[in-house]
Amino acid sequence: MHVLVTGGAGYIGSHTVVTLIGAGHRVTVVDDLSNSSEESLRRVGELTGQPVAFHRLDVRDRRGLDEMFARAASSGHPVEAVIHFAGLKAVGESVVEPVRYYDVNVGSAVVLLAAMHDAGVRRIVFSSSATVYGDPVCVPIPEDAVVQPANPYGRTKAVIEGLLRDVAASGTGWQVSLLRYFNPVGAHPSGRIGEDPTGTPNNLLPFVAQVAVGRRREVAIFGDDYDTPDGTGVRDYIHVVDLALGHVAALDRPPAPGTPLVVNLGTGTGASVLEVIRTFSEVAGVPVPYRIAPRRPGDVAACYADVSVATEVLGWKAQRSLADACADTWRWQRSNPNGYR
Ligand code: NAD
Ligand code: WQD
């Protein structure tokens, strides 16, 4: 299948492109490189043995998208499905710049759907997030749990999910899959591609990796007085290669037109901040100093997925452990201490 991957130069997108090509799909990437580097795609090309078809484009650029769809069609390989990763994802930044978040995230979705409509492409897989559950009413979280995002970033995801539900219900043949990722971590086992945050990492694993490699002094653990076994926050860390395989499964098993398929992509198991630090330190064989800091505003005690829909409907299950994710992150971090730069 010819798959258009928006945001394909980014962290999850680049790993998914490797997996799609490995599964025999034809891939075209559009990305404006606002949070990534073309070097990731060059390395994807190295890993897959073929250069990646790439258009540097803002997804809100309607004319650019139209030209891309038209070129694919006239080459005899029309785009058949879209995986839509492109967007902004920093929770804290979204609180300060909500308008930019709605503009980029919701604006991109609207323009992309309009261009897909006119190009006759009716199949979309969308990167949603467990953040739509906000402070979850129960764990593990099933897909029918209430959607109550607690920040502007999460609300952009909820708005796009709503838009896609309406599109699916329009009676015009759309097949929509909404994938809600939990906490993506890890890197390709080659150590050639991985997560490359700019500035201070917001997420735990990249921060731990930068401490382990000596770029930062210690990890601040945001709270040790949560109602969890060791008092630190519990999350569902899903290896990015498993996540990539989840996208291939979603393409292989689209829902019938009418109602979107909503699927949690997680492992189904939670790990605490202390467990993550301990596992990373053991796997890397280096100390990871930490201190206990105050809670981070907006954090919840525990968040992990009920993965039964993914197993039953997609036939997909995460195979890689937290130790695998730490080992792969460490390999990537050690061989690329400054990421792609
Ligand atoms: P990322 O920032 O590495 O990748 C996003 C890519 O989209 C980047 O390459 C960026 O340059 C590109 N992009 C941004 N705005 C664009 C635009 N207007 N036009 C074209 N390209 C644009 O992030 P990621 O971690 O790979 O996340 C991918 C998707 O998954 C995002 O939609 C994110 O919200 C979602 N998600 C991520 C996580 C996570 O923790 N990483 C969790 C849940 C959901
Ligand atoms: C994990 C745990 C922190 C950093 C975020 C987004 C979510 C989704 C995934 C996009 C928590 C603790 C962290 C640190 C720490 N992204 N922590 N010290 O907050 O679960 O989810 O990324 O959709 O929307 O909110 O992930 O990696 O930031 O935190 O103690 O320096 O690690 O308190 O318990 P989070 P995270």
pLDDT digits (tens, 9 = 90+) for 37-94: 999 999 999 999 999 999 999 999 999 999 999 999 999 999 999 999 999 999 999 9
pLDDT at 302: 97
Any domain includes 217: no
User: Is any ligand 2 atom within 6 A of the Cβ of residue 204?
Assistant: yes
Any domain includes 132: yes
Q: How confident is the model at residue 170 (pLDDT cuts 50, 70, 90)?
A: very high
| Mutation choice for ligand 1 from 19, 40, 113, 127, CB with most ligand atoms inside 8 A | 127
Q: How confident is the model at residue 184 (pLDDT cuts 50, 70, 90)?
A: very high
Strand partners, 253: none
User: Is any ligand 2 atom within 6 A of the Cβ of residue 228?
Assistant: no
Backbone angles phi, psi at 39, to 5 degrees: -60, -35
Any domain includes 330: no
Strand partners, 5: 29, 83
Going 126 to 100 to 115 to 23, the CA torsion angle's sign is negative
Q: How confident is the model at residue 275 (pLDDT cuts 50, 70, 90)?
A: very high
Residue spans of beta strands (DSSP E) within the chain: 2-6, 26-31, 53-56, 81-84, 123-129, 175-181, 183-185, 219-222, 234-235, 237-239, 261-265, 271-272, 290-293, 302-303
Q: How confident is the model at residue 273 (pLDDT cuts 50, 70, 90)?
A: very high
- Which atom of ligand 2 lies at the shortest distance from residue 205's CA? 27
Please check whether residue 125 is in contact with residue 177, taking contact to mean a CB–CB distance below 8 angstroms.
yes
Q: Percent of the chain having pLDDT more than 90?
A: 98
Q: What is the CATH number of the domain that holds 10?
A: 3.40.50.720
pLDDT at 34: 98
For ligand 2, the distance from its centroid to the CA atom of residue 225, given in whole angstroms, is: 16
For ligand 1, the distance from its centroid to the CA atom of residue 88, given in whole angstroms, is: 6
Q: Give me the number of domains the chain comprises.
A: 1
Strand partners, 238: 184
Q: How confident is the model at residue 261 (pLDDT cuts 50, 70, 90)?
A: very high
Any domain includes 285: no
R_g over Cα of the chain: 19
Ligand 1, pocket residues at CB < 6 Å: 6-7, 9-13, 31-36, 58-60, 85-87, 89, 104, 108, 127, 129, 181, 184
Any domain includes 39: yes
pLDDT at 90: 96
Any domain includes 60: yes
Q: How confident is the model at residue 133 (pLDDT cuts 50, 70, 90)?
A: very high
Q: How confident is the model at residue 111 (pLDDT cuts 50, 70, 90)?
A: very high
SS3 of residue 87 by DSSP: coil
Domain that holds residue 66: 2-184+238-266
- Is 304 designated active site? no
Any domain includes 225: no
Any domain includes 37: yes
pLDDT at 241: 99
User: Is any ligand 2 atom within 6 A of the Cβ of residue 111?
Assistant: no
pLDDT at 48: 98
Q: Percent of the chain having pLDDT more than 70?
A: 100
pLDDT at 329: 98
pLDDT at 70: 98
pLDDT at 288: 98
Average pLDDT, the chain: 97
Q: Are strands 271-272 and 234-235 parallel, antiparallel or unpaired?
A: antiparallel
Q: Report pTM.
A: 0.99
SS3 of residue 323 by DSSP: helix
Nearest CA to ligand 1 atom 21: 31
